[in-house]
Amino acid sequence: MFTWWHRVRDGTLKRSTFRSYMTPLRREVERLLEAGSQCGVAQTAGTCREMLKRREALWTFVQVEGVEPTKQTRAEARSSGCGNAQGQLWHQSEDGSRFVESMDDGSGDG
């Protein structure tokens, strides 16, 4: 995902192509969140349910130019007194921060 995102930012991948690439990834992430919400581990299930409640916000960066899927965006928003649901959701806990970091594993697979 981040490999594709960086290509969108540098102009080597069209946003429309990025949206197409993201469609199956979005389905899979939401499927995993659904499974996690039923996993039997209270904290994990609760986190997954909260993320599912805000599922549209998770994908704002795919549709809206200028919104980025990074922690830096939240830090910038915090310093300006603004925020976005996506950043707040992903980074409201240490576990959430680790989740986002793990999404970009350096493999180049997106």
Q: Is the pTM of this model over 0.75?
A: no
- Give pLDDT, residue 79: 54
Taking 50 as the pLDDT cut, the residues of the chain under it are 73, 80-92, 104-110
Domain ranges of the chain: 2-103
What whole-number distance in Å separates Cα of residue 54 and Cα of residue 6?
24
Dihedral (CA of 59, 62, 65, 69) sign: positive
Which helix (DSSP H) or strand (DSSP E) does residue 78 occupy? helix 71-80
The pLDDT assigned to 26 comes to 94
* Residue-level pLDDT at 35: 96
Residue 68's pLDDT is what? 85
